[in-house]
């Protein structure tokens, strides 16, 4: 029987420049998940960032989540696209600006998680023909589409002013649309698989420590 399938891979890198172990997140601390904004066509989808936030906010031992829009507004203008820090080495200078560290402490954010990546179509093909008339109609054939979702989460520790780690998630799958009269979509939800895997690994990273 034909079915859509997805394969995935999760990788984790822990920053080792600091010999101190990663601190597990505390109950009073929150996390904000931000979309890495660029001026290219492959800018990370807002829906993917929202998916990761919702996963971290639900399930066993959920995190306190500060919404992206709220955080950007409260930190205005420092996390607007043209001013947001692109690298962790920019953190000390940002946090040294008057009032910035105080605002972050008031909000309660300990970790900023930058999400970067996209879902792309790798290949597609197949044929399908449809015909309709007075006696009815239908379609015959099959089409397919191979997609890959590749995302990276860079976890910034605002307390230590450094990158704590980087987690990547890659999911690849093929969707099919077979038709014997009626087309039946068999969707490979690669972005959903990547979101679930990334969120689970982020949760483990911030709760288990090193």
CATH code for position 180: 3.40.50
Determine, yes or no, domain membership for 21: no
pLDDT at 16: 59
pLDDT at 210 over 50: no
CA distance 207 to 22: 9
* Closest among 144, 124, 119 to 2, alpha carbons compared: 144
Tens-place pLDDT, residues 1-31: 667 789 999 998 887 555 555 667 788 889 9
- Is residue 170 included in any domain, yes or no? yes
User: Does residue 20 belong to any structural domain of this protein?
Assistant: no
**200 phi-psi bin (left φ>0, alpha ψ -120 to 50, beta other):** alpha
Do the beta carbons of residue 170 and residue 194 sit within 8 Å? yes
Q: Rounded distance, CA 121 to CA 148, Å?
A: 6
Tokens 């910034």, located at residue = 156
Q: Of the given ranges (78-87, 185-194, 195-204), which has the lowest mean pLDDT?
A: 78-87
Q: Is residue 202 part of a domain?
A: yes
The answer to whether position 89 is within a domain reads yes
Structural domain harbouring 42: 5-12+28-208
User: Number of structural domains, the chain?
Assistant: 1
For the stretch 30-66, pLDDT in tens is 999 999 876 555 568 889 999 999 999 998 889 999 9
């Amino acid at each position: 029987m034909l079915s859509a399938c997805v394969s995935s891979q999760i990788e984790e890198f822990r920053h080792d420049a600091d010999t101190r172990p990663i601190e597990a997140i505390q109950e009073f601390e929150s996390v904000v998940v931000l979309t890495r904004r660029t001026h290219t066509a492959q800018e990370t989808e807002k829906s993917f960032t929202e998916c990761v936030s919702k996963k971290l906010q639900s399930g066993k031992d959920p995190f306190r989540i500060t919404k992206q829009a709220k955080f950007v507004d409260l930190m205005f203008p420092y996390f607007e696209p043209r001013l947001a820090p692109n690298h962790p080495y920019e953190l000390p200078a940002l946090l040294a600006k008057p009032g910035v560290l105080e605002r972050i402490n008031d909000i309660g954010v300990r970790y900023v998680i930058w999400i970067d990546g996209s879902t792309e179509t790798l290949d597609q093909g197949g044929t399908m023909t449809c015909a309709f008339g007075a006696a009815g109609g239908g379609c015959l054939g099959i089409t397919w589409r191979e997609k890959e979702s590749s995302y990276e989460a860079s976890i910034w520790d605002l307390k230590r002013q450094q990158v704590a780690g980087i987690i990547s998630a890659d999911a690849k799958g093929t969707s099919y649309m077979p038709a014997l009269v009626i087309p039946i979509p068999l969707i490979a939800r690669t972005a959903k698989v990547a979101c679930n895997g990334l969120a689970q690994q982020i949760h483990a990273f911030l709760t288990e420590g090193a």
